[in-house]
């Protein structure tokens, strides 16, 4: 069988969480997928656990071990290795409804404008709050961009991107910086959004279980641990999406992360030099307030 989609999972010392995801994948009504686990340097016995699952042969599992470098480096590794037409990231603390792969496969098979889109945009469900994250999307098979959705609905919440592997690999990889462990994943998503739209699927394909020590809940701490990574993301967000309010906010953050990372030539390197100069007082004020 030629699998349609790779479900890839970056994991660092998440042996205690992975079984929930594994069990949900074993129960899939459509087995037309590969599960790729990118082990980002775990030391908790993840490798041995995954080996036992491979021996069970309930799910096609590809296991890749790499030196710890952070979630974005695990994404880079996955994208280099994925061979299927589609791919989707499902985090180690999340899972999938039993019919998720079936819904994706049927939807993609019935969509005849594949070459016009970067992939599918579907729904996430928060299992703790028992609700869809953010609002619903436009009707199924609407071709749109994240920029258009934000302009129309404001913050429309976390959604699940199911990308064509060819397209996600056609934009820049996440930059990797020594001694830093995070570049916001939105960095690459926005590069894709700038290039090509997605098609909407109003179905839940991922069940999200936010962890207290996960990246979502420790974001401010990570500002100081990975300033260059955030600086790279804010540099892109000053240009796209083309939403004035967001670009202003990103410019202020660009100044903040430039100061935090010790970047001295941030005005010269800014993609929006005039905006950076105009917002310099606010950016410095924000830096002083945070530090």
Give domain limits for the chain.
5-208, 221-290
Q: How many CB atoms lie within 10 A of CB 235?
A: 21
Label residue 289 exposed, middle or buried (CB < 10 Å: 0-12, 13-18, 19+): exposed
pLDDT for residue 216: 60
In this structure, the dihedral spanned by the alpha carbons of residues 25, 26, 29 and 35, taken in order and rounded to 10 degrees, is 40
Confidence of residue 214 (pLDDT cuts 50, 70, 90): low
Q: Which residues pair with 282 in a beta bridge?
A: none
* 102-106, 120-124, 132-136, 162-166: least confident range: 132-136
Confidence of residue 136 (pLDDT cuts 50, 70, 90): confident
Confidence of residue 13 (pLDDT cuts 50, 70, 90): very high
Would you say residue 158 has pLDDT above 70?
yes
Q: How many CB atoms lie within 10 A of CB 49?
A: 18
Side-chain half-sphere CA neighbours of 175 within 13 A: 16
pLDDT for residue 154: 83
Residues sharing a CB contact under 8 Å with residue 111, sequence separation 6 or more, in sequence order: 141, 199
Q: Using one digit for the tens of pLDDT, what is the confidence trace for 65-120?
A: 999 999 999 999 999 999 999 999 999 999 999 999 999 999 999 999 999 999 99
Confidence of residue 21 (pLDDT cuts 50, 70, 90): very high
User: In the chain, pLDDT over 90 holds for what percent of residues?
Assistant: 92
Residue carrying the six token digits 């996960």: 214
Q: How far out from the chain centre does Cα 18 lie?
A: 18
Angstrom CA distances, 172 to 113, 182, 187, 191, 203, stand at 25, 16, 9, 8, 29
Would you say residue 29 has pLDDT above 80?
yes
Contact 255, 266 (CB under 8 A): yes
pLDDT for residue 211: 80
Contact 44, 60 (CB under 8 A): no
Contact 66, 46 (CB under 8 A): no
Q: Using one digit for the tens of pLDDT, what is the confidence trace for 226-244?
A: 999 999 999 999 999 999 9
pLDDT for residue 215: 61
The full length of the chain comes to: 291
Whole-number CA gyration radius for the chain: 19
In this structure, the dihedral spanned by the alpha carbons of residues 127, 197, 173 and 170, taken in order and rounded to 10 degrees, is 140
Average pLDDT of the residues in 155-166? 93
Average pLDDT of the residues in 264-289? 98
Would you say residue 1 has pLDDT above 80?
no
Mean confidence (pLDDT) of the chain: 95
pLDDT for residue 213: 67
Angstrom CA distances, 198 to 23, 140, 162, 194, 201, stand at 29, 11, 9, 11, 10
Q: Which CATH architecture has domain 5-208?
A: Alpha-Beta Complex (3.90)
């Amino acid at each position: 069988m030629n699998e349609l989609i790779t479900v890839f999972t970056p994991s660092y010392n998440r042996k205690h969480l992975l079984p929930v995801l594994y069990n949900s994948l074993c129960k899939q009504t459509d087995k037309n997928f590969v599960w790729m686990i990118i082990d980002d340097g775990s030391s908790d016995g993840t490798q041995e656990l995954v080996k036992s699952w491979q021996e069970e042969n309930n799910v096609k599992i590809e296991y890749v071990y790499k030196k710890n470098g952070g979630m974005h480096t695990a994404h880079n590794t996955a994208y280099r290795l994925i061979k299927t037409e589609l791919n989707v990231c499902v985090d180690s603390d999340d899972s999938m409804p039993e019919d998720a792969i079936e819904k994706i496969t049927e939807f993609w098979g019935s969509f005849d404008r594949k070459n016009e889109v970067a992939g599918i945009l579907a729904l996430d469900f928060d299992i703790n709050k028992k609700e869809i994250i953010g609002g619903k999307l436009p009707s199924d098979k609407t071709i749109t961009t994240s920029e258009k959705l934000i302009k129309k609905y404001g913050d429309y919440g976390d959604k699940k991107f199911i990308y064509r592997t060819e397209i996600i690999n056609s934009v820049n990889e996440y930059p990797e910086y020594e001694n830093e462990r995070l570049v916001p994943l939105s960095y690459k998503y926005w590069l894709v959004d700038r290039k090509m739209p997605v098609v909407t699927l109003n179905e839940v394909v991922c069940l999200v279980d936010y962890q207290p020590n996960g990246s979502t809940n420790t974001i401010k701490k990570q500002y100081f641990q990975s300033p260059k990574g955030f600086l790279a993301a804010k540099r892109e967000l000053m240009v796209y999406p083309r939403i004035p309010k967001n670009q202003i906010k990103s410019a202020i953050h660009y100044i903040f992360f430039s100061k935090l990372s010790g970047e001295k030539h941030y005005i010269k390197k800014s993609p929006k030099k005039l905006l950076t100069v105009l917002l310099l007082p606010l950016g410095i004020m924000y830096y002083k307030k945070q530090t």
